[in-house]
A and B are shown apart, each in its own frame.
Chain A
């Protein structure tokens, strides 16, 4: 009996000394690398914060990070590895929609919670009890874009979408809301990820009588898009979304970035201590202004840790119960009102506008009719 007690004690000690492994998928190289580095910085800041204040359930968080290059094939391989070899407690998906769409079913099947930090595609969580999201759904964000176009007084709008899961889900939401608000889509085109030359499309767009342009894409494409639009003298409002939300966008687009609107989740002018604390820590750690991607990674780990801590359990079912029971939680990426049964947050959105080389608040959106998935 005494021996059993000793073994138990030893096991307990070993478990205490051992950290909790948390898997991270992020595009650290390839075209999405700036976002990958940012999301990882956000997650690392959250892990350090949690470890400094006693850890999660008394154990230190250890991050196991793989570079999925935003490539669905790599994401599937790495998510298997995280589950089978590294035996992580849960996984933060810090990658784009395509890669996250490939990874989340694998984690879900193994009942390992998967939290997409900022990927927008609805199917990442749809019908998967162990898959969750911290960011805005694509269609929701698209709706906010249409709301903004209407608010800016546009009646005829142009849509230019990046040709992938991200762009498709944004466009769907934009078109739905545009139809409701009576906006007419007078120009609609797509372009492939990585595209640099937008001049031919923009030249034709200029010949249309659109009064605002809703354009999806990531910062590298977006920078060229707005540069070339402005150099063609196309001076209608350009409405982007969280893909633009990076200091790199402002650096690469230069003067042309001024006045560009984006719908996103990181409100730089928020008075929430959670947001301001994050902005400061991110700037200190990386030397760069914070972006939505970093804030999402930070919020994802913090919210999950908070829920697990409260439940006293790291398992998928406990995490699910905990997240679904949350109400009105202030995070670095805005206020989460509650989680839907699909594991998606209903949360505030913000419209930021570039002013003097910085993202500033234009307005915040808290209208549930717009934000509910």
Chain B
């Protein structure tokens, strides 16, 4: 493999992996706290992308587009937490899961009815090589993800909020007994997760210059695979699994082609992990 191909694949794999990380992080956060598989997270991502597209149309500013996507995602997340998941939490877990799948489909159709079935263009990132074969959109996506992940790291590891999240994930009852405000924790977790998803939607919309109603479909199922690979509820395991998957997919497409479907990489990995390391790639087994 020559240097050109190597940098191109590395840049591509990291960019795709970053996108996976941003969305899967929210999924794993929500699962860790509420034990809900939040399939509609991919719907929040699509709504964020549309909000960003709209803002970019109006203002031409990518910064404002990212901000609008983040705010739209966060608001939708808060709304879903309060009006959708909270009433379902007292039911068996599959009720929330089925509801979430239905919600995801409904969001896609709503976007189609509102904005039409077309791919809308969000031409914010000019596709030009910058360093070697790394392109400007790749650098923006990887850079933005790095900053956001540092932010999440700070919140989770260094703040009382993060402490509360970790306590709730470990043992909700004990945490509540020690004065952790569980409803607040879950509300803020949805807020953070959905904010990241909204941002990811805008980034991906600009990366591929396409925003469309079903854009969350791939992430809806791949995100779940990543969350399991990383160890359900394990934040840093999820980030590592996402980046690893992005790189593996890029290599698989380049050297195996699509005769071995690249979408399959995540699921082959998922099967292997469930067979041999069911606690996830990066989690220690519970004794």
Q: Compute how far the CA of A202 lies from the CA of B2 in the bound complex, rounded to whole angstroms.
A: 14
B123 to chain A, nearest CB (A): 6
User: Residue B286 at the A interface, CB < 8 A?
Assistant: no
Question: What 1/0 flags go to A164-204 for Cβ under 8 Å of B?
Answer: 00000000000000000000000001111001110111111
Q: Compute how far the CA of A37 lies from the CA of B126 in the bound complex, rounded to whole angstroms.
A: 29
Contacts of B2 in A (CB 8 A): 207
Contacts of B4 in A (CB 8 A): 203, 206-207
User: Residue B119 at the A interface, CB < 8 A?
Assistant: yes
Tell which of B128, B210, B255 has the most Cβ of chain A within 10 Å: B210
Contact at A34–B128, with CB atoms within 8 Å? no
A201, A202, A220, A233: which contacts B119 (Cβ < 8 A)? A220
Interface residues of B in 83-128 (CB under 8 A from A): 112, 116-119, 121, 123, 126-128
Contacts of B9 in A (CB 8 A): 199-200, 203
Contact at A248–B118, with CB atoms within 8 Å? yes
User: Residue B143 at the A interface, CB < 8 A?
Assistant: no
Question: What 1/0 flags go to A206-241 for Cβ under 8 Å of B?
Answer: 110000000000001001100110111100000000
Question: What residue in chain B is nearest A195 (Cβ atoms)?
Answer: B258
User: Residue B221 at the A interface, CB < 8 A?
Assistant: no
Contact at B127–A201, with CB atoms within 8 Å? no
User: Residue A283 at the B interface, CB < 8 A?
Assistant: no
Question: What residue in chain B is nearest A198 (Cβ atoms)?
Answer: B253
Question: What residue in chain B is nearest A229 (Cβ atoms)?
Answer: B127
Contact at B117–A200, with CB atoms within 8 Å? no
What's the dominant secondary structure at chain A's contact region? Answer: helix
User: Residue B60 at the A interface, CB < 8 A?
Assistant: no
A-binding residues in B (CB < 8 A):
2, 4-5, 8-9, 11-12, 16, 112, 116-119, 121, 123, 126-129, 133, 135-137, 208-210, 212, 214, 249-251, 253-255, 257-259, 261, 263
A207, A220, A228: which contacts B210 (Cβ < 8 A)? A220
Q: List 20 A-B contacts (CB under 8 A).
A: A31-B212, A34-B118, A189-B257, A197-B208, A201-B253, A203-B5, A203-B254, A204-B255, A224-B210, A228-B127, A230-B127, A231-B127, A231-B128, A231-B136, A231-B137, A248-B118, A252-B119, A252-B210, A254-B209, A255-B126
User: Residue A33 at the B interface, CB < 8 A?
Assistant: yes
Contact A199 to B118, CB < 8 A, known contacts A163-B258, A223-B209: no
Tell which of A29, A190, A197 has the most Cβ of chain B within 10 Å: A197
A66 to chain B, nearest CB (A): 16
Q: Compute how far the CA of A158 lies from the CA of B129 in the bound complex, rounded to whole angstroms.
A: 22
Contact at B210–A200, with CB atoms within 8 Å? no
A33, A204, A253, A255: which contacts B118 (Cβ < 8 A)? A33
B8, B112, B116, B212: which contacts A232 (Cβ < 8 A)? B8
Contacts of A197 in B (CB 8 A): 12, 16, 208, 250, 253
Question: What residue in chain A is nearest B119 (Cβ atoms)?
Answer: A220
Question: What 1/0 flags go to A294-313 for Cβ under 8 Å of B?
Answer: 00000000000000000000
Contact at A192–B257, with CB atoms within 8 Å? no
A186 to chain B, nearest CB (A): 15
* Contact-residue size bin, chain A (C-beta under 8 Å from the other chain): 35 or more
Contacts of A39 in B (CB 8 A): none
B11, B123, B261: which contacts A254 (Cβ < 8 A)? B123
Contacts of A251 in B (CB 8 A): 121
Contacts of B214 in A (CB 8 A): 30-31
Q: Compute how far the CA of A357 lies from the CA of B176 in the bound complex, rounded to whole angstroms.
A: 61
A303 to chain B, nearest CB (A): 28
Question: What residue in chain B is nearest A220 (Cβ atoms)?
Answer: B119
Contact A203 to B133, CB < 8 A, known contacts A197-B16, A252-B121: yes
Contact at B117–A33, with CB atoms within 8 Å? yes
Contact at B258–A190, with CB atoms within 8 Å? yes
Contact at B133–A232, with CB atoms within 8 Å? yes
Q: Compute how far the CA of A231 lies from the CA of B128 in the bound complex, rounded to whole angstroms.
A: 5
Tell which of A190, A231, A254 has the most Cβ of chain B within 10 Å: A231
User: Residue A256 at the B interface, CB < 8 A?
Assistant: yes
User: Residue A24 at the B interface, CB < 8 A?
Assistant: no
Q: Compute how far the CA of A107 lies from the CA of B151 in the bound complex, rounded to whole angstroms.
A: 60
A29, A201, A248: which contacts B254 (Cβ < 8 A)? A201
Question: What residue in chain B is nearest A34 (Cβ atoms)?
Answer: B118
Question: What residue in chain B is nearest A69 (Cβ atoms)?
Answer: B117
Contacts of A201 in B (CB 8 A): 253-254, 257
A28, A163, A233, A256: which contacts B117 (Cβ < 8 A)? A28
A227 to chain B, nearest CB (A): 5
B182 to chain A, nearest CB (A): 39
Question: What residue in chain B is nearest A203 (Cβ atoms)?
Answer: B8
B74 to chain A, nearest CB (A): 26
A200 to chain B, nearest CB (A): 4
Interface residues of A in 96-145 (CB under 8 A from B): none
Contacts of A252 in B (CB 8 A): 119, 121, 209-210
Question: What residue in chain B is nearest A255 (Cβ atoms)?
Answer: B126
Given contacts A203-B254, A227-B127, A254-B209, 14 further A-B contacts (CB under 8 A): A33-B116, A34-B118, A192-B263, A197-B250, A197-B253, A199-B8, A199-B12, A200-B9, A200-B250, A207-B5, A231-B136, A232-B8, A253-B209, A254-B121
